[in-house]
Amino acid sequence: MVSSAQLERKAERARERLSDKLADLRYHVSPTTVMSDLLGVHPRDDVLPVLAKQARNNPIASLLIAAGVGWLIFSEVRGPISKTLGLTTPRQTARRKRKKKRSAHNSKALIGSRSK
């Protein structure tokens, strides 16, 4: 049978391992580490020349990213793009058709009841 002291030691070792893993994960996922891994830049260095070089080397990707960011900013400023352009989703179109059909049916029923 396992004593409570043994279980406590086992739990303490598990906590220590978890704490070490979390510390390691915090180091590897820090903004500094991610930036240096992805861009090859240290935080002390200037990032703009590296980004400009990346944009020159990958113009299509840079344009797509810029378009996405621009669209995001535009949609935040002007509201959803579908509202701005007056577009509707298929669900909205179907809902509008059902509503129109119901109102036409109700008006026919109303006219029929008046003529009787």
DSSP for 13-63, please give it.
HHHHHHHHHHHHHHHHTSHHHHHHHHHS--TTS-HHHHHHHHHHH-HHHHH
Task: Summarize the confidence of residues 105-111 as an average pLDDT.
Answer: 65
Q: How confident is the model at residue 43 (pLDDT cuts 50, 70, 90)?
A: low
52-103 tens-digit pLDDT: 888 899 999 999 999 999 988 887 776 665 565 666 667 777 888 888 888 7
Dist. CA 15–CA 114, nearest whole Å? 81
Q: How confident is the model at residue 1 (pLDDT cuts 50, 70, 90)?
A: confident
Q: Which of 20-34, 37-51, 61-75, 90-104 has the lowest mean pLDDT?
A: 37-51
- Regarding predicted confidence, which is higher, 11 or 50? 11
Dist. CA 100–CA 92, nearest whole Å? 12
